[in-house]
Amino acid sequence: MEIWYSLVDHLFPFAWAQHIFMKNALMAVLLVGPMFAIVGTMIVNNNMAFYSDTIGHSALTGIAIGVLLGFGDPLWIMVIFSIVLALIISSLKFLTTASTDTIIGSVSAAMVALGIVILSRGGGFAKYSRFLIGDILSITPKELLILAIAFGGVILLWGFMFNRFLLVSVNMSLARSRGIPVHLIEILFCVAAAVIVTISIQWVGILIINSFLILPAAAARNITKNIRQYHVVAVLITIVSGIAGLLMSYYLATATGATIVLIAALFYLLTFIWKPRFL
Amino acid sequence: MPCANAIQKQQTKACGLCCTRLEDFGVKIGRTEILRDINLHIHCGELMAVIGPNGAGKTTLLKAILGEISHTGWLRFLDASNCQARKPIVGYVPQKIDFDAGAPVSVLDLFSAALSSWPVCLGHSRRLQERTEASLLRVRADHLLKRRLGDLSGGELQRVLLALALEPKPDLLLMDEPVSGIDVQGREMFYDMVSDLRRNYDLSIILVSHDLALVSQYAERVVLINKTVICDGTPEDIFSNGQINLAYGPFYIDSTGGKQTYAKNSGGAIA
């Protein structure tokens, strides 16, 4: 961490960079941003925006279960809960003929309600509102390490599995005809996405985490023609909007996560306007 | 036994690879029996067309052979020596792939993802690009290499999918109405290409189609199914069979072109 701090001092000799919490937050943004960009592109390709939204919202129930079991830091319970949920949703998709949207929508609503019911027992819900909005400025080096490990995990997983994820996202029958175990790959992707969302949720916020996952990818696909460009542009958008959002929230004293998402939304708007000229 | 070996070798050479046997093949989804008692033997180098009314289970048959849905009975792929079962390479050209037209996936991306394990998001190797170009050239689609999948026309997309299905070279090629919704010229170009490939590569092909004029022109064997095999023979056999005509036809012979076409009432083919 010391190396990082002195690096920031060298690169950014500004007032905001003097604070340790800003240095930590900057690193968090640089870890979460690219990680979300590459997971988000695949989520958008798979039309799974609604799924990741549900995982985000269900974190409330994860927190509630953690609190019920008496854990001070509910992160691990949340992660385990999200994995179980991801497994349930992805197998329900294959087992029933009901529309995926309907299944996911019902699960989402039930999980949010259950979380709120448990957490609001005795009127103490305000305590947990930091999960709703997210607070990246309070991140500690130990928590940064968890993010870094998750980021490393995503890169490894993508290195080995990316092509299979991509083929499944293009067309399942096509992927299956090429010997890819489609169900297994889908479940793996659902679980990976769930873990990433859950680990990042207390920094970005339940309310807006899905936007940060979807917007950069949605913006990038407006103006790109192949997979490589798609990833490069999405990663650039998350990094630029992450850093810009962090600084703006510092000077305007606003919630960081929401400010970042707002800038990412601006990128989406710009690429949307630019799209007809691009294609 | 050098003699036996020599024979075996010769056979392997003469008859490209394997033949495919379906024995007591059936598919049940839930309590609904979709296919039953299917017994078929597809030889190498043979183009077998599968026809039948809507809901007869044609697509289900292909999906079951692909392993997408489970089946009862046996599906055997036999080597030229006729005794060794082995895992075959099955190529599949789907009817019309359902994909997100907005996704920035280029034709080259699709091939790279299918043919290599190097993550496509990091770019392509020159070798793979050359291989893809060569494979697209085979279906006269090399100019589409860098185009987005969503920007291709229906005919272009089917040619790309055919090229992909042939890479690596399959033992068995399954095609599910590969050219439905494509204009006549596109269709003829597609089937001419398929016939060339079959001759050059000794492929076994199972083709599901509603286009009976084309079927009778390109297939040497037609199988009519409706839950099970109703009739199995040459196009002439099928289309001239009185009972079949009564139940599934009428097919009539176009005496001018010598082709059979398939008409229902005022000539509208059953789609």
Q: What is the pLDDT of residues A20-63, one digit of tens each?
A: 899 999 999 999 999 999 999 999 998 888 889 999 988 889 88
Q: Residue written as tokens 């002195």?
A: A6
Report pLDDT digits (tens) over B84-127.
556 677 888 887 777 888 889 999 999 999 988 888 888 888 88
Q: Are B44 and B15 in contact (CB under 8 A)?
A: yes
In this prediction, residue B140 has a pLDDT band, given cuts at 50, 70 and 90, of confident
> Rounded to 5, what percent of chain A is helix, strand, coil?
85, 0, 15
Report the pLDDT value the prediction gives residue B16, as an integer from 0 to 100: 47
A133 pLDDT higher than 70: yes
pLDDT of residue A213 exceeding 70, the answer is: yes
On whether any CB of chain B is under 8 Å from the CB of A162, the answer is yes
Which of A227-241, B4-18, B129-143, B154-168 reaches the highest mean pLDDT? A227-241
Nearest-neighbour CA in chain B from A235: distance (Å): 12
Tokens of B79: 């080597």
Q: Residue with structure tokens 């679980």? A: A191
Identify the residue with better confidence: A100 or B192: B192
Q: For residues B224 and A13, what is the distance between their CA atoms, to the nearest angstrom?
A: 78
Q: What is the pLDDT of residue B259?
A: 42
Per-residue pLDDT, A273: 92
Inter-chain residue contact A177 with B92, CB threshold 8 Å? yes
Q: Which pLDDT belongs to residue A35? A: 95
Q: What's the rounded mean pLDDT across residues A107-130?
A: 86
Categorize the per-residue pLDDT at B79 as very low, low, confident or very high, splitting at 50, 70 and 90.
Answer: low
For residues B233-262, give the mean pLDDT: 62
- ipTM associated with this complex: 0.84
More confident residue, B186 or A253: A253
Are the beta carbons of A167 and B113 separated by less than 8 Å? yes
Nearest to B119 among A163, A170, A229 (CB): A163
How would residue A66 be classed by pLDDT, with cut points 50, 70 and 90?
A: confident
Q: Which residues pair with B232 in a beta bridge?
A: B223
> Hey, what are A43's tokens?
């989520």
Please give the pLDDT value at position A97: 65
| Residue entry with tokens 């197998």 | A91
Which of B29, B121, B124 is the best mutation test for A, with the most CBs of A within 10 A?
A: B121
Mean pLDDT of B163-176: 86
For A164, nearest residue in chain B (alpha carbons): B113
The residue in chain A having the minimum alpha-carbon distance to the alpha carbon of residue B94 is A174
Instruction: State how far the Cα of A159 lies from the Cα of A179, in Å rounded to an integer.
Output: 19
| Among the ranges given (A159-168, A199-208, B29-38, B141-150), the one the predictor scored with the smallest mean pLDDT | B29-38
pLDDT score of B49 more than 70: yes
pLDDT at residue B270 greater than cutoff 50: no
CB contact under 8 A, B99 and A171: yes
**To probe the interface with B, which of A227, A232, A235, A271 has the most B CB atoms within 10 Å?**
A227
pLDDT for B269 equals 38
Asked whether residue A99 carries a pLDDT value surpassing 60, the answer given is yes
pLDDT band at A266 (very low <50, low <70, confident <90, very high): very high
Beta strands in chain A (DSSP E): none
Alpha carbons B196 and B221: distance in angstroms, whole number? 17
Question: Any bridge partners for residue B72, and if so which?
Answer: B26
The pLDDT, as a whole number, for residue B210 is 78
Give the integer Cα–Cα distance in Å for B27 and B179.
Answer: 26
Phi, psi of B149 (to 5 degrees): -55, -40
Interacting residues of B78 by C-beta distance below 8 A, sequence separation 6+? B18, B19, B20, B21, B84, B85
Contact residues on chain A for B102, CB-CB shorter than 8 A = 221
Order of strands, sheet of B72-78, starting from the edge strand that comes earlier in the sequence: B32-42, B19-29, B72-78
Contact B177, B269 (CB under 8 A): no
**pLDDT exceeds 90 at position A82:** yes
CB contact under 8 A, B104 and A163: no
Q: Chain-wide mean pLDDT for chain B?
A: 77
Check residue B82 and give its pLDDT. Answer: 56
> b/e for A113-128, b at 16 or more Cβ within 10 A?
eebeebbeeeeeeeeb
pLDDT (0 to 100) of residue B84: 55
Q: State residue A229's pLDDT score.
A: 93
- Band (B260; pLDDT cuts 50, 70, 90): very low
Do residue B120 and residue A227 have CB atoms under 8 angstroms apart?
Answer: yes
Which 8-state DSSP code applies to residue B179? Answer: T
